[in-house]
Amino acid sequence: MGCLKPWARYGLLVVAHLLTLGLGAVLFQALEGPPACRLQAELRAELAAFQAEHRACLPPGALEELLGTALATQAHGVSSLGNSSEARNWDLPSALLFTASILTTTGYGHTAPLSPGGKVFCTVYAALGLPASLALVATLRHCLLPVLSRPGAWVAVHWQLSPARAALLQAVALGLLVASSFVLLPALVLWGLQGDCSLLGTVYFCFSSLSTIGLGDLLPGHGCVLHPVIYHLGQLALLGGGTPLLGTVWEG
């Protein structure tokens, strides 16, 4: 691409990006379409069976109206299901987790402001907090990068590596350190604590949180299985940068 004109390079990059989007969409449709159809068919069968069993007690459309209300409230992170003694959706640890998801741009989507004042404050808070978070990340990078680069520099001098190979070795080492410390290790801890989640699910959740994708299918939810103290400590641990650590549990 070095001999191409700038507009041609940009055009090729745009076409490659569009092709990547299209390929990803086709693959996701092929992978996720059949399971979604099966779940929809199972849900319809369950609804039909429930309505057939309780038809005499339910007016027409009452169940659909109730489910619609429940789904609408759950979209804002409010649910009437489960034990009423569980922590409220806006207790202090949950509110801290919400602010952390804003400042790290993870945005799990399981909690959202309901009041007009909350929406206004969320907008102002994000507008001021995101630049501050970026400044903090830049400062940490400036302080930590020299420290993390020392082992790679020592290896490069000891093994007499070329600058290109030393840079590649340092990049690989840092990648392995991040992957093991912030993805694999938390995933193993969560997998051991949370018996109803697979190892793949915990790795998937840790990666989606670390990369700030935050799809929202696996969420830091209410501590129904872990001890409440461990659960709240886990929520507070997320304030260290959105990294999923000990005590985070899911609502699927």
**Structure confidence by residue, pLDDT tens digits, 187-210:** 888 787 766 678 888 888 778 777
Q: In b/e form, how buried is each residue of 161-199, taking b as 16+ CB within 10 angstroms?
A: beeeebeebbeeeeeeeeeeebbbebbebbbebbeebee
Q: Which residue is associated with the tokens 């590596």?
A: 161
Over residues 209-230, the mean pLDDT reads 61
> Quick one: which of 71, 91, 113, 61 has its CA closest to 80?
71
pLDDT confidence of residue 248: 37
- The conformation of residue 239, written as its DSSP 8-state character, comes to G
Over residues 164-189, the mean pLDDT reads 83
H helices within the chain, ranges in order? 6-53, 62-74, 92-103, 116-159, 163-179, 185-193, 199-210, 228-237
> Quick one: which of 128, 138, 136, 240 has its CA closest to 186?
240
Cα separation, 136 vs 138, whole angstroms: 5
Q: Residue 221's CB: how many other CB atoms inside 10 A?
A: 19
Predicted TM-score (pTM) of the model is 0.61
Q: Residue 110's CB: how many other CB atoms inside 10 A?
A: 23
pLDDT confidence of residue 192: 77
Q: Amino acid identity, residue 66? A: L
pLDDT confidence of residue 21: 83
CA dist 169 → 142, 217, 238 (Å): 20, 36, 30
pLDDT confidence of residue 147: 80
Higher pLDDT, 216 or 54: 54
Cα separation, 249 vs 238, whole angstroms: 12
**Structure confidence by residue, pLDDT tens digits, 28-78:** 889 888 988 998 899 889 888 887 887 777 777 777 787 778 777 766 666
Residue 121 pLDDT class (50, 70, 90 cuts): very high
pLDDT confidence of residue 12: 86
Cα separation, 216 vs 53, whole angstroms: 34
175's tokens:
């990648």
Higher pLDDT, 2 or 107: 107
The structural domains of the chain, ordered by start, are 93-251 (1.10.287.70)
pLDDT higher than 60, residue 230: no
30's tokens:
């092929």
- The conformation of residue 88, written as its DSSP 8-state character, comes to P
pLDDT confidence of residue 84: 44
